[in-house]
Amino acid sequence: MTIQPSKVWFITGCSTGFGRALTEAVLEQGEIVVATARKPQQLKNLVQQYGVGQSPAIGDRILVLALDVTQSSDIQAAVNQAIATFGRIDVLVNNAGYGVFGAVEEVSDVDIRRQFETNVYGALNVTRAVLPHLRRQRSGHILNISSSGGFVGFPGAGIYCASKFALEGWSEALAKEVAPLGIHVTIVEPGAFRTAFNGTLVVPHQAIEDYATTSGQMLQWLHQMDGQQPGDPKKAATAMIQVVNHSNPPLRLVLGADVLEVVHAKLEAVAADLAEWRHVSVNTVFEGAAVSAIGG
């Protein structure tokens, strides 16, 4: 019997919520975690239980590193330290993120850019720093934590959705680039989960009355849901581990019955639009031009 070596997970945003729950679940099943956070002190108790943090001894299974994903120099340093300590990274989880909510017109330019700095460029830069190691290994799995809002646009969530759609766009392309190299990519789309997310939303300084029944209603719902969300982050962590352990993992993993419903509704709506407007769509090419699939 061959003993499978323990996988090394590199997770961003581990201080609370999904990142924290996943870190605990991975440690409980005996694997190794490079747990990164802006506030690494919040992981102190896990270090006491599973490792000694900055200079791990043999057998320690957690390395806690300070990492703000908007800081490129932090990213390279954290990845270098992970490799220097454990020699490999098997699973990268781009989890760090937050929500800028409000109607598209209400949100400030600064808040829009900050949202993209974390949710899009942060995850992208961490991935680009880890990829050379996964390519060298000819193996690995990248889990990008998107959202139901990464597949469906909701009123009052336009900027957050844009950031998660962007995350999904490059993730889907990347999955096709790295599949021949033995690397998997899974986009995780959670619904409403009981984490610190709803309590840390960035909302507009000044609401516009005309959006009260669309964006305003969404903000009210998010506020009321805080602490009541149906999703259990521990169960989400178990689902993510299940996907990583699967020999043929999916490109998308929906978490929550609420998301399944909205994703199906969108797929049906897109299919209906495509069918109804097909004659217009196909009638836009040069006379006699050859049409091939995009990308050849």
Ligand X SMILES: NC(=O)c1ccc[n+]([C@@H]2O[C@H](COP(=O)([O-])OP(=O)(O)OC[C@H]3O[C@@H](n4cnc5c(N)ncnc54)[C@H](OP(=O)(O)O)[C@@H]3O)[C@@H](O)[C@H]2O)c1
For ligand X, which residue of 190, 204, 240, 244 counts as binding (CB under 6 A)?
190
Helix extents (H) in 123-252? 123-137, 158-178, 217-225, 233-245
Nearer to ligand X among residue 182 and residue 199 (C-beta):
199
Given a contact cutoff of 8 angstroms between Cβ atoms, the answer to whether 34 and 78 are in contact is: yes
Q: Does 72 bind ligand X (CB under 6 A)?
A: no
Active site residue 164: yes
Residue 158 interacts with ligand X (CB under 6 A)?
A: no
Given candidates 115, 118, 186, 215, which one binds ligand X under the rule CB under 6 A?
118
Residue 121 falls in the annotated catalytic set: no
Using CA atoms, how far apart are residues 145 and 158, in angstroms rounded to an integer?
Answer: 17
Binding to ligand X by residue 95, rule CB under 6 A? yes
Q: How far is CA 260 from CA 95, 96, 177, 182, 190, in A?
A: 21, 23, 27, 29, 10
CA pair distance 156, 219, nearest whole angstrom: 7
Tokens 């978490």 locate to 255
Asked if 234 touches ligand X (CB under 6 A), the answer is no
Segment 52-71, which members bind ligand X (CB under 6 A)? 67-70
**Is 15 considered catalytic here?**
no
Chosen residue from 96, 100, 175, 254 binding ligand X by CB under 6 A: 96
- For residue 200, state whether it binds ligand X (rule: CB under 6 A): yes
Helices 123-137 and 72-86 cross at an angle (nearest 10°) of: 30
Q: Which is nearer to ligand X, 67 or 175 (CB)?
A: 67
Look up tokens 């099943």; give the residue.
Answer: 29
What is the contact surface with ligand X in residues (CB under 6 A)?
12-13, 15-19, 37-39, 67-70, 95-98, 118, 122, 145, 147, 190, 192-193, 195-197, 200, 229
